[in-house]
Amino acid sequence: MTDRVKVWVIRTGAAAASAERYLDLLDDDELLHAADFLRERDRVRYLVAHGARRLILGRELQTAPESLTFRADATGKPELDGDGRPRTSLAHDGDLALLAVTPRRTVGVDVQQLVEGLNPVDMSETYFLPFEARYVAGGHDLLEQTDRYARLWTRKEAAAKVAGGVGWANTRAAVLQRDLVACVEPAAPHRHRVAPVEVPAGYRAAVALFGEAAFRVEVAAFEVAEFEGV
């Protein structure tokens, strides 16, 4: 049976007043983190992303979202506490967050906003493998170059999150025209399967699962009204 990963698309650009509804769902660590943001816009995005994560997982587990507890795994990645819990990964950029949920395999998800002012050719030449940098530079215009860069970057990041990698080393992992990715750091014999995720215009995203077994991706939009009363 083919494994499944569900990716929830969460729009985080809510007004501050709307975001406050999530405060009662978060634990002390999350509230402290939210308070550290210097810009109100970033605080709102954090509240919505982490509040939505609790609502989604609360419904999945048929439990109160505020009662969920998270622990850091060996790489510092937050995971649901308790045996037999789903594996999750949360990523956000701009006004969009993605929550990937899968029954058992370690998962990593990444999303990037296509922003103006980025020089994708220079970035690729600095951080990517030479043949990937040439692929980015081969785009017909800046828009296509930025698109190619973001698609490669999110694949590298998703696989690195599965492997527990940190830092810039995994930008050297080969992902172009590859569904199976071997990370550079930590070096291991494992390869991880990566797939694109369909997201709104202006963003690119990818999700990875540990190991080589195939999986299918299901994408759903988070609508807070559906979760009222969880």
Q: What does pTM read for this prediction? A: 0.94
Contacts 24+ apart (CB under 8 A), 219-224: 219/6, 219/7, 219/9, 220/6, 220/7, 220/8, 220/9, 221/8, 221/9, 222/8, 222/9, 222/10, 222/11, 222/52, 222/55, 222/56, 222/99, 224/21, 224/52, 224/55
pLDDT the model gives residue 17: 85
The per-residue pLDDT for 4 is: 95
Q: Residues in the chain with pLDDT < 50?
A: none
What is 3-227's CATH topology? Ribosomal Protein L22; Chain A (3.90.470)
Which pLDDT value is given to residue 50?
A: 96
Q: Where are the domains of the chain?
A: 3-227
